[in-house]
Structure 1
Amino acid sequence: MKQKLFALLERDYEEMIDIRRYLHQNPELSFQEIKTAAYIVNFYKQLGIEVKSGVGGNGVVAKIKGEKPGKTVALRADFDALPIQEETNLPYKSLFPGVMHACGHDGHTATLLILGKVLHELRTELEGEYVLIHQHAEELAPGGAIEMIKDGCLEGVDVIYGTHLWASLPYGAIHYRTGPIMAAADRFEVVIKGYGGHGAQPHKTKDAIVIGSQLVINLQQIVSRRVDPIESAVLTIGGFVADNAFNVIADSAKIWGTVRSFNEDVRDLLEEEIGRITKGTCIAADCDFDLKYERGYPAVVNHRDETEFLARCAKEIPENTEIQIANPDMTGEDFAYYLQHVKGTFFFTGAMPENVEKPYPHHHPKFDINEKSMLAAAKTLGLAALKSQD
């Protein structure tokens, strides 16, 4: 069965490339993926595969039933794009200004579509059922996963697998990890409410820029002085705006940023400390403030048995030449929600473009992937799905 799976995936590899390039040319932003969802539905309908649209919003779920009893295995791919103006010279670059597949979700979708096609072709020899989850809105919290789960996409599922084509890893790499592999991703925004005035009369004002600057410095002490050094955390200020004329003291200032962590206790501490320090800084300056803290995706926490099983499967695939334990990554992923409901694992598949000294990172306007990574991902996911029946 393994050899049949691999042979059929190799046969349809060119179609996988064509799908990826079509999707790359036609990206859609999170929660706006109407045409992409319709494309996915049409692909499965033409093959006679059971498919449901509108799952939790724009999500799509296809199901393939083997003729023998067995477990229900879910495989997930996301399909939204980013608000980025593409700057590549690819012949299949985005046709839509300001929207780009700059994270590899086009490749994820093409991988799962062709894997679904192959599993359907093998259905008379398969055990169990295969649930293909095509998820919308991974890039923008609250994300699509949580609503798709509420809408029943995991009902009856015994195990779930997912991968991310990772352009910073060389082609042939499979990086996996038991426990936390990607971080919880939160955001915050503070508005300092000072008292503006003439730049020549600072004693009559409450300078929102000075107060905000002090707050930025104070917040940077949270990770270094409040978080246990054995734990990992990041607090990044992403923006500071107080736009005025040269001779005006700012009446208000807006500061925003992101917080990343793996441990829920650390996550709670970070939120608490941001509130405490913001309040204290503003009390000292005798000014008011508004603070908004939004929790994003939780950490992606892989299950041990399923992760070790995936690693064993990966070693059976010739394309996978660098199989190793990954370092935890501070980027976030709403695959985390699936793992809170069902056992499974999420891993990285090396997708570094060929003949480049330094690949462009994810979310960069010149981002690209090595398309051969899609075949490696399809074989790895497909073999794990089949062997989960053993």
Structure 2
Amino acid sequence: MTLIDLGELRDGPDGEAPLPRSPRAVGRPLRVALVLALLVATLAGAAPTPERVSVVVPARVGSEAFLDGGRFYVVEPAEGEPGGTVEVRAYALPARTPADGRAPAPLWRARLLAPGRFWQVQTGPGVVLFSVTGDQSLGQTIALDPATGRERWRQAGYHWADVAGTLLMQDAAALRSVDPASGRALWSVPTPPEGVRFGVRDGLVERFVLVTADGRAEVRDPRSGDLLHAADLRLDGQPSFGQPTVIDDLLLVARAGVVTAYGLDGLRPRWAARVPLVEHVVDCGELLCAAGQTGGFRALDPTTGALRWTAEGWLGVLSGRDGRLLALAPGSTGERFSVLDAATGRQVADLGTWQLMPWQDGGRLLAVRPAASGGGLVVGELDVVAGRSRVVDLLRDASGDCRGGTEAVLCRLRTGEYGVWRFEG
């Protein structure tokens, strides 16, 4: 096993000081639930170019709204019901703007007893899956019939539904495969809290890795739960396992200033690299980025662990596409997005200050920021490959709490209602 010493390299761009936090890993489905803080910024007004249709949907205080699978959903406290009861309404994305300004009729309504906050909706195999926070460490998942809104089942834990139709549920004690129609467990394996890492490629969970605090790692098949490989990965009797990450065919462990890469086939060590103050490793397109505890990162070759380049002053990398990286950095009025050349780490474009909407891997990177005058929000698309931000629309009545999809944007209005804008052209 080769050990590479990366030393204390300091040739980051612009000589910016390190920052006290670092990003989450790229490509992890759990990330589609986290939202960056709304940033204060200015922008000269820009006229919208695409044609659009729009609707306004009533909503009460405490409501949440979501876009997924060609629909949008509004979840709000149910009137005249005990506390913790919510009404869920499903709507089709609008085909045209109502001439009379009326709100669209819902496809269905459902009332559920669900204490906690709804924070994600995902269309699964034959069901619509709602993630709800709660007293349990990972909350609960409620599955509704997509045609009627009837509750199919609910279980403790967080769900993962991949493009092959595999539905996995994780709670504080176990990971299990679930039949989407009935919620019946197909197989189950005990897991420690926060002890599961998924290997995802093109929306498909290929393998998952269970890790324990004492250093045991297991690679398992997501279709059957069968054990494929197991190993004790402790180094020199260290009691702590460190920070594990699965990227492509590697299990990467960061501990005591060293990043160690293990092949998922056999869990044999491939290389180790010294990275001072390393906290965790994230996906950087064709490279790996080892993030430091005080900000900045070092780009490593995934085959050998050799250092390609280093950068200070960045909060982290959020996406990698076609040899370009979307990086986040501090700005005078908030956080700024830039495009880096993945081969050299050189900044090739400054995209400005935005609030990035939640997104899925490979999807559009939509973002908003306050309009310079007249109120409202500017909607932009961050094009990492082209190295530019494109203004999609100017929403004068929007106030925030936005979510974006392939063809639509949903935002809270100043009145408290929700606006949905579908773009054509």
TM over 0.5, shorter chain:
no
For Structure 1 versus Structure 2, the TM-score category normalised by the shorter chain is: under 0.3
Normalization by structure 1: what TM-score?
A: 0.24
By relative contact order (CA 8 Å, sep 6+), the higher-ranking structure is 1
